[in-house]
Amino acid sequence: MDDLTQVGFKLAGILVAFTVVMTMVAYTVLAERRVLGFIQGRLGPNRVGPGGFLQPLADLLKFIFKEDIVPDKSTRFVYFLAPVIATTAALMTIVVYPFGPEIHLPIINKTIPLVVTRFDVALLYVLGVTSVGVYGIALAGWSSNNKYSLMGGLRSSAQMISYELALGLGLIGVILQSGTLDLYSIVEQQAGHLGVTGWNLIWAQPLGFLIYLIAAIAETNRVPFDLPEAETELVAGFHTEYSAMKFALFFLAEYANMFTVSMLATTLFLGGWNGPFVHQLPWLGVFYFLGKVILFLFLYIWLRGTLPRFRFDQLMNFGWKFLVPLAIINIFLTATLQWSGALDYVSKFLKTSVGWGG
Amino acid sequence: MGALLETKFTTETRRTQRHKTVLALLFILFAGMAIGCAISMVAQRNPLYGAISLIGVFISLACLYVTLAAPFIAAVQVIVYAGAIMVLVVFVIMLLNVEEEEWPTRMRSLVPIAVLLAAVLFAEAAFIIYFVQASPATPTRNISDVGLTSSIGAGLFTTYLLPFEITSILLLMAVVGAMTLARTGGLLPPRAVVVPGHQVLAKDVLDPRAVNDSEPIHARSTAEVEKILGIEGAPHVTDEDL
Amino acid sequence: MTPQLSWYLALSAVLFTIGVVGVLSKRNVISMFMCIELMLNAVNLTFVAFSSFFRDVSGQLFVFIVMTVAAAEAAVGLGIIIAIFRNRESLDVDDASTLRL
């Protein structure tokens, strides 16, 4: 394919992925309010548009027209930079997620896989970009010149870097099994019989999935790990002094992070776009993928409505003294089972295409 | 990626010409960013701005590593340097509330000499690079897989296994060292006074009425302690009572 | 023209020089530490450039080990800096010129 056509396709892909993600993030906010209302026995917002589905638009208009208050003694440059870093880091990861298998575009008569780009260290890229996202929070807390913000920012960053370790270690099990860091290949290898039995969650990494899920919830600062930004504890944590559009960017960054983490869980553990009859009708892959992501988002919201939150020292204890050793045990178990050939035996029944180790 | 360019065209087609221009432009862009952020880091007085500039240097170097066909090292650079080491540095700057430096007022006249000497240092390096320019041998294969994760893993666990194991011990040493440095309390409480050969007791430990009086009581028996404290005749509590 | 090896080496020399200037001219010990990290990164760039142009993976392996050592050094070094700060209440290197407090 000609170079310029390739570049054009990539740009179009970025645009489409960005639009899809932003729309889903906006409606996740609405869904959270409705589902939380349902759990708590009340209705969520249902006035704006039928069933409240124009509420994100109303929120957007509100954020645009709100007055932008900048605290007097804050460090200007860093204060403006922090939400930019947080949002950029949250959105940069969507270029590596495979949304669907190879589809045939009718008009242009080309067959392209539904992923913006494939390269062979995609998983490390995702980990790296989420590591850089910590700066948005730390710098926001510091530059607001407010002791609650600073406390919230530092606590939140400490929590994020602690659970990043558990997150990375939990993913090593999947990498050992698949033998590649390329997310598209990992999804391709999870195509079992009927597109369902090959999922990594079922036969390969149940413990890894649990570790990843807990670490991901802590990484995105959601309940039960949301002490640094809980309203009852630290006013609003690191984004206390932010108003209007900058607060909207932080809000967006948090939900985009949630979305990103759900997409990674779907790709690695739930088989990505795999499902029944996906090879006959490739467009079904997109629906399967988005359906699984919505399942994870619903899980997040459900946890928010159900669980109390951890105290900060309990949180750090849990991360360092329980989750990291558990992840290391998972690596040992996976490596031993794979080296002894036990996993090959299981995979013969469950998978159609085998990876490097399975 | 200049090393990966296909060499099977004897005459340069427009496409390879465009490739080369794009690669050169990318190099100039990332190199310019790296040098700009580095100069900004040295010129900044506020250490937090210096830290942010250094993060910019690391990210532009990671982009350069990608153009050099080393994607694994680029990702590890972002994860380790920009994502872990600099987070630690930023934490320390925020916790210790490090303030801005003032311009050095004592030896300001020496700054032009410093810049001149820096230019001399750079001229020396450029001299060496220019005159010792040996061109690398023509690569045998066009597409190399040197930078891929599999070849790094293969090298790390076969040829370079000993440095790998030693590095892991080094990391263990660093963890133990950091935890030891972070420990604030010792094994004794801060008020204890140790007098060798005698009972190690301070007055405010024994007598709740002597607040903050950490004078040590030298005694060899309980009766002596009672006499010093002035509580003779107090009922003794034995193990059966407890 | 494609980027030559000498371009990368020149960039590395420039970054290293800037790091040296920073270490010598800064009084704040954390800023000096950051300039030392810049020097380490300049050397990493040299290694990766050579590894790419000579098609040998050893350069990148050495970079891996240098990064690990830099991480260990950062952890322990910052711990020492915090311990010094607790005792002397100042991060100025000139103030830490005697062995007594």
CB-nearest partner of C54 from B67, B70, B136: B136
Answer yes or no: do B136 and C5 touch at CB < 8 A. yes
A121, A135, A142: residue with CB nearest B72: A121
Which pLDDT belongs to residue A295? 93
- The pLDDT tens digits for B15-49 are 778 888 888 999 999 999 999 999 999 988 889 99
Q: Do C7 and B27 touch (CB under 8 A)?
A: yes
State the Cα–Cα distance between residues A75 and A99, nearest whole angstrom.
41
Q: Inter-chain contact C25–B42, Cβ cutoff 8 Å?
A: yes
Evaluate if residue B132 carries a pLDDT over 90. Answer: no
Confirm if B74 and A129 have CB atoms less than 8 A apart.
no
The residues with which A102 forms a beta bridge, in sequence order, are A113
* CB contact B126 to A (< 8 Å): no
Dump strand ranges (E) for chain A.
100-105, 110-114
A161 touches chain B (CB under 8 A): yes
Provide the pLDDT for residue B1: 47
Test A121 with B71 for CB contact under 8 angstroms.
Answer: yes
Query: Which residue intervals of chain C are DSSP H helices?
Result: 5-25, 29-53, 58-88
Q: Is B232 a residue whose pLDDT tops 70?
A: no
Chain C residues with CB-CB distance to B31 below 8 A: 7, 11
Residue B222: the pLDDT is 67
Contact (CB<8Å) B83/A138: no
Q: At what angle do helices C58-88 and B86-96 cross, to 10 degrees?
A: 10
Burial label, C48 (beta-carbon count in 10 A; 0-12, 13-18, 19+): buried
Burial class of B220 by CB neighbour count within 10 A (0 to 12, 13 to 18, 19+): exposed
CA C38, CA B40: separation in Å to the nearest integer? Answer: 12
Query: Which stretch of A50-59, A90-99, B71-80 has the lowest confidence by average pLDDT?
Result: A50-59
Residues A23 and B145: their CA atoms lie apart, in Å, by: 39
d(C-alpha A150, C-alpha A147), whole Å: 5
Question: Is B87 near chain A, with CB under 8 Å?
Answer: yes
Contact B95 A127 (CB under 8 A): no
CB atoms within 10 A of CB B134: 6
A181 close to B (CB below 8 A): yes
Residue A76: alpha-carbon gap to chain centroid: 30
Residues B73, C48: C-beta atoms closer than 8 Å:
yes
- pLDDT tens, residue by residue, B51-103: 999 999 999 999 999 998 899 999 999 999 999 999 999 999 988 888 777 66
Terminal C-alpha separation, chain B: 79
Mean pLDDT of A176-200: 81
Contact B87 A121 (CB under 8 A): no
Q: Cα separation of A255 and A228, whole Å?
A: 16
- Interface with chain A: mutation pick from B18, B37, B90, B95, highest number of A CBs within 10 Å: B90
For A128-142, A314-328, B82-96, B129-143, which range has the lowest pLDDT when averaged over its residues? B129-143
Name the residue facing B79 among A128, A150, A157 (closest C-beta).
A128
Residues C41, B224: Cα–Cα separation, whole Å: 67
Interface mutation vs chain B, best among A1, A80, A120, most B CBs within 10 Å: A120
Sign of torsion, CA B227 B231 B237 B242? negative
Which of A77, A121, A161 is the closest to B149 by Cβ? A121
The helix or strand, by DSSP H or E, that contains position B177, with its residue range, turns out to be helix B161-182
B94 touches chain A (CB under 8 A): yes
8 Å CB contact between B27 and C6: no
Cis peptide before C3 (omega within 30 of 0): no
Burial of A192 (0-12, 13-18, 19+ CB in 10 A): buried
Q: Taking CB atoms and an 8 Å limit, are C19 and B38 in contact across chains?
A: yes
What does each of the 101 residues of chain C score in pLDDT, given as a tens digit? 788 888 898 899 899 989 988 898 888 889 999 999 999 999 999 999 999 888 888 999 999 999 999 999 999 999 988 888 887 777 777 777 776 65
A26, A29, A30, A32: CA torsion to nearest 10: 150
Dihedral pair phi/psi, residue A113, rounded to 5°: -75, 145
Q: Are A183 and A122 in contact (CB under 8 A)?
A: yes
* A117 vs A182: CA distance, rounded Å: 10
pLDDT in tens, A265-324: 999 998 888 888 887 888 888 899 999 999 999 999 999 989 988 888 888 999 999 999
Distance from CA of B39 to the nearest CA of A (A): 18
What is the predicted pLDDT for the residue at B6?
Answer: 44
**Touching chains, A (3+ CB pairs < 8 A):** B
For C85, the closest chain B residue by CA position comes to B96
Strands (DSSP E) found in B188-228: none
Q: Which chains touch C (3 or more CB pairs under 8 A)?
A: B
Residue type, A266: T
Contacts of A119 in chain B (CB under 8 A): 71
Phi-psi region of A355 (alpha: psi -120 to 50; beta: other; left: phi over 0): beta
User: Is A356 a residue whose pLDDT tops 50?
Assistant: no
Binary contact (B52, A124; C-beta < 8 A)? no
Q: Rounded to 5 degrees, what angle do the CA atoms B110, B111, B115 make?
A: 120
| Cα–Cα distance, C2 to C70 (Å, whole number) | 32
What are the residues whose beta carbons fall under 8 Å from the beta carbon of A72, sequence distance 6 or more? none
Q: Does B73 touch chain A (CB under 8 A)?
A: no
| Contacts with C19 from chain B: Cβ below 8 Å | 38
Q: Which of C31, C63, C81 to mutate: most B Cβ within 10 Å?
A: C31
B148 and A CB contact within 8 Å: yes
Contact between B77 and B61 (Cβ < 8 Å): yes
Q: Please, are residues B147 and B154 in contact by the beta-carbon 8 Å criterion?
A: no
Identify the residue whose tokens are 């870093």.
A85
Token representation of residue A38: 């349902």
Torsion-angle region of B232 (φ positive above 0: left; ψ -120 to 50: alpha; else: beta)? beta
CA distance B190 to chain A (A): 25
Chain B CB contacts of C17 below 8 Å: 118, 121-122, 125
Distance from CA of C74 to the nearest CA of B (A): 6
Cβ atoms within 10 Å of A30's Cβ, excluding its own: 21
Residues of chain C found within 8 Å of residue B73, distances taken between Cβ atoms: 48, 60, 63-64
Are chains C and A touching, using the cut-off of 8 Å on CB pairs and a minimum of 3 such pairs?
no
Q: Please give the pLDDT value at position B197.
A: 54
Q: How far apart are CA C70 and CA C74, in angstroms?
A: 6
* Shortest alpha-carbon distance between residue C57 and chain B (Å): 6
